[in-house]
Amino acid sequence: MPTALITGASRGLGAAIATALEPTHTLLLAGRPSAELDAVAERLGAPTWPLELTDPASIEASTEVLAELDVLVHCAGVAFPGRVGESSAEEWRATFEVNVVGAVALTLALLPALRAARGHVVFINSGAGRNPSPGLASYAASKFALRAFADSLRVDEPALRVTTVYPGRIDTDMQRDLVAYEGGEYDPARFLSPETVAQVVANVIATPPDADVHEVVVRPRG
């Protein structure tokens, strides 16, 4: 079976994507070591792949043993809710370090393995990567940057398939934090389920090899 490495696989959308790909792929569940990541690995019968996106040594150690990689899914991300005037430079640095620099560094480290497999890189972006929302200044900026990196990777590495997925709001812990910041009442029915977005990602990855899906936009109905 083809091999898929998924970042942020310990919970939420990352865990859901791993579950959706499990029937068709050998999984590498990447993330910071945690009981949550171990639980996903045990449930899916897949190995954990210790990875700290802010640590170059961790990225090098986690990638040097991979000669080929069919699918890389960038799902890890952080957000610090806050409007521009409420934000701090430290929050911007922390956001870009994970959401952009970490994704870039991991992709570069895995390029030889991806090239060898003529692989597929999937970037989980956000609606905020197309249209910024109030209260998500640094997050939106990082997602715009991630979008530009994905587009650059596509044109510079034509042997690879590169897809950016722009989901709307998803029922995750990050969403709960954002709603709490906004002062609203959390209603999971208003948001996409992680499983729904994960199935969209799995469908993209299953696209026949003569096609390349560049972008997918997914929004909650109603």
pLDDT band at 179 (very low <50, low <70, confident <90, very high): low
Least confident residue range of 36-50, 93-107, 168-182: 168-182
Mean pLDDT of 140-157: 98
Which residue, 53, 16, 38, 67, is CA-closest to 198? Answer: 16
What pLDDT shows up at residue 221? 87
pLDDT digits (tens, 9 = 90+) for 130-147: 998 888 999 999 999 999
Rounded-to-integer distance, Cα 19 and Cα 41, Å: 10
Mean pLDDT of 168-178: 76
Least confident residue range of 2-16, 81-95, 178-192, 198-212: 178-192
Q: Which residue ranges make up each domain of the chain?
A: 3-207+213-217
Rounded-to-integer distance, Cα 211 and Cα 38, Å: 35
pLDDT band at 47 (very low <50, low <70, confident <90, very high): very high
pTM for this model (two decimals): 0.93
Which residues are the active-site residues?
Answer: 139
The label of the residue with tokens 């570069």 reads: 108
pLDDT band at 187 (very low <50, low <70, confident <90, very high): confident
Instruction: Tell me which of 3.40.50.720, 3.30.43.10, 3.40.190.10, 3.20.20.80 is the CATH number of domain 3-207+213-217.
Output: 3.40.50.720
**Residue 181 confidence (pLDDT) above 70:** no
Note whether 74 and 120 are within 8 A (CB): no
Mean pLDDT of 102-115: 98
